[in-house]
Amino acid sequence: MRLHREGLLTILLIILVSCLTVYAAWAWLPRVAVWPIAAVMAVLLGIVVWFFRSPLRPQGGNDTLVLAPCDGKVVVVEEVTETEYFKDRRVQVSIFMSPLNVHVNYHPINGTITYRQYHKGKYLVAWHPKSSTENERCTVVVKHASHGEVLIRQIAGALARRIRTYPNPGDPVVQGTEMGFIKFGSRVDLFLPLTANIAVRVGEVVKGATSIIAQNED
């Protein structure tokens, strides 16, 4: 299992804290109390390592498809007015990532980054309707040569306190490669053209860089 680079410092910190905790328990507590404490610290380390896993996913894909930008459950599929960049009607598809999901974010299409903007904000629960516009978030737009632009918005949740976004405006990107990472429970919104054929529905579980979200009209 590969570990994501965003988790290396956190994992090292947990290892250090675990070692110090077990050492202190060994020095100051009865031996019978040491093993339960060691077991708890081992479980904690295992949870953190599992959270920062980074599985290999296919890259390149199909230019006619929009793939899922993350693992999780679809919580919104609806037509809305996108007010930050397009300022017109779009189809919004939102995916909620629980703390148990892989938290790597992937580019849903091939293309070039035309826009990136970070916004400070609140930490409402990620499935809250206002989290898309009021929470801490980062908006990225990718332009495909044939199918136009797709907006991806990374949104922090009640537990998430760090959004990482890797590409910059002008960068070429490949479908299925890493776009970023969000720590500890969060959400990703996609804003697609009204002509896109949506392939998912609310409640469906999707897999980043693998599940088909929509197919673009030629």
What is the tens place of the pLDDT at every residue in 109-144? 999 999 999 988 665 655 555 556 667 889 999 999
Asked whether residue 58 is domain-assigned, the answer is no
**Residues 80 and 46 both lie in one domain:** no
Q: Is 94 a catalytic residue?
A: no
pLDDT in tens, 155-190: 987 665 678 999 999 999 999 999 999 877 689 999
pTM of the model: 0.88
Percentage of residues of the chain with pLDDT beyond 90? 63
pLDDT in tens, 79-108: 999 999 999 999 999 999 988 899 999 999
Contact 140, 175 (CB under 8 A): no
- Strand, coil or helix: what is 51? helix
What stretch of H or E contains 116?
strand 111-119
For the stretch 210-213, contacts whose Cβ atoms lie closer than 8 Å and that sit 24 or more positions apart, written own/partner, are 210/57, 210/58, 210/67, 210/68, 211/67, 211/68, 212/65, 212/66, 212/67, 212/68, 213/66, 213/67, 213/68, 213/93, 213/108
CATH number of the domain encompassing residue 211: 2.70.70
Asked whether residue 59 is domain-assigned, the answer is no
CA dihedral 124, 125, 128, 131 (to 10 degrees): 50
- Residue 127 belongs to domain spanning: 65-215
The gap from C-alpha 80 to its chain's centroid, in whole angstroms, comes to: 22
Q: Which of 94, 131, 132, 186 is catalytic?
A: 186
**Residues 40 and 72 both lie in one domain:** no
Contact 116, 165 (CB under 8 A): yes
**Residues 38 and 80 both lie in one domain:** no
